[in-house]
Amino acid sequence: MKRMPLALTALLLVISVSSCKFSKTLKNPDIETKYKAAMEYYNTKDYSRALQLFDQMTGVIRTTDKAEEMYYSYAYCYYYMKDYTLASYYFKRFYTNYPGSPRAEEALFMAAYCNYQNSPEYSLDQSTTYEAIKDLQLFVNIYPSSKRISECNDLIDDLRAKLEYKDFRVARLYFRMGDYNAAITCYNAILKDYPETPHREEIMFQIMKTYQRYAKDSIESKKKERYNKAILAYNDLIKEYPETRFSEDAKAVYNKCNQEIQLLDASKSNKK
């Protein structure tokens, strides 16, 4: 029978002793002993064990002078374990419970930053993204002189860019589905809500193109009005981007709209 390597045997022995020590600490009724052990686990980055001990003390240690340090470490345990939802919750609780603490500013920032970390990819529900923006803005409002303001603004810009891109993709989807009215509404909302969007030039071209498609598929009485809106959209595009990269395609759409309007006017005259 093959013997277990000495190094592995030693490692298993250390793990066994450590587990036994932790088990005894969990059962120990002395709060001081638990607190000291919990902080040792926390400082050695054993956040799982630290949390288990903190959980046992939350209701007891609340009124002692150790409470602030414990709740601060408690929130960071969840953060380091990448449970950003609970981390954000406990950082907010820390800020609420200890607003005069030297760590209050840090806690409020971390509550917002955890929501930033929790923000999903653009295609998923963005409730957490909106929550993160709200929390970051709250931090900026409460601590306008903080050294973290620049970082907060960068994080907000990053989150807003994600929301803008999601709306941009939704507008394109409406266009592909043939729901031109919804596409135009979405594109215009993006220009209003995100005036500095990097997609601005493309959106202005897409509004023109969408109006042209919308007019083509409309009932006779609505066609001219929508072709004219496409022409107005072309003028807005050329005014803002005289050398637009969509120049050739935009001019083709513009000419097509004018031709269709002339045909509509001729048809109307012939019916008189």
Return the CATH class of domain 178-272.
Answer: mainly alpha
Q: What pLDDT does 28 receive?
A: 66
pLDDT in tens, 153-162: 999 999 999 9
Amino acid at 254: Y
Q: What pLDDT does 268 receive?
A: 74
Kindly give, in sequence order, each residue whose CB lies less than 8 Å from that of residue 268, ignoring residues fewer than 6 positions away: none
**Assigned token pair, 116:** 């930033």
Best CA proximity match to 86, nearest among 62, 108, 118: 118
Q: What pLDDT does 59 receive?
A: 72
Q: What percent of the chain lies above the pLDDT cut of 70?
A: 88
Q: What pLDDT does 266 receive?
A: 84
pLDDT in tens, 24-44: 766 666 778 888 999 999 999
Evaluate if residue 189 carries a pLDDT over 60.
Answer: yes
**Assigned token pair, 185:** 């509404």
65 falls in which pLDDT band (50, 70, 90)?
A: confident
Q: For the chain, give every domain's residue range.
A: 178-272
Q: What pLDDT does 12 receive?
A: 41
Q: What pLDDT does 11 receive?
A: 40
End-to-end CA gap in the chain: 107
Q: What pLDDT does 10 receive?
A: 42
Give the length of the chain.
Answer: 272
> Computed over its alpha carbons, how large is the radius of gyration of the chain?
31
d(CA 76, CA 209): 51
- Please tell me whether the overall predicted TM-score, pTM, comes out greater than 0.85 for this model: no
4 falls in which pLDDT band (50, 70, 90)?
A: low
pLDDT in tens, 215-228: 999 999 999 999 99
Q: What percent of the chain lies above the pLDDT cut of 90?
A: 77
pLDDT in tens, 82-129: 999 999 999 999 999 999 999 999 999 999 999 999 999 998 999 999
pLDDT in tens, 41-61: 999 999 999 999 998 887 777
For every residue of the chain, DSSP letters joined together read -PPPPHHHHHHHHHHHHHHHHHHHHHH---HHHHHHHHHHHHHTT-HHHHHHHHHHHHHHHTTSTTHHHHHHHHHHHHHHTT-HHHHHHHHHHHHHH-TTSTTHHHHHHHHHHHHHHH---TTS--HHHHHHHHHHHHHHHH-TT-TTHHHHHHHHHHHHHHHHHHHHHHHHHHHHHT-HHHHHHHHHHHHHH-TT-TTHHHHHHHHHHHHHHHHHTS-HHHHHHHHHHHHHHHHHHHHH-TT-TTHHHHHHHHHHHHHHHHHHHHHHHHH-
Q: What pLDDT does 32 receive?
A: 85
Evaluate if residue 6 carries a pLDDT over 50.
Answer: no
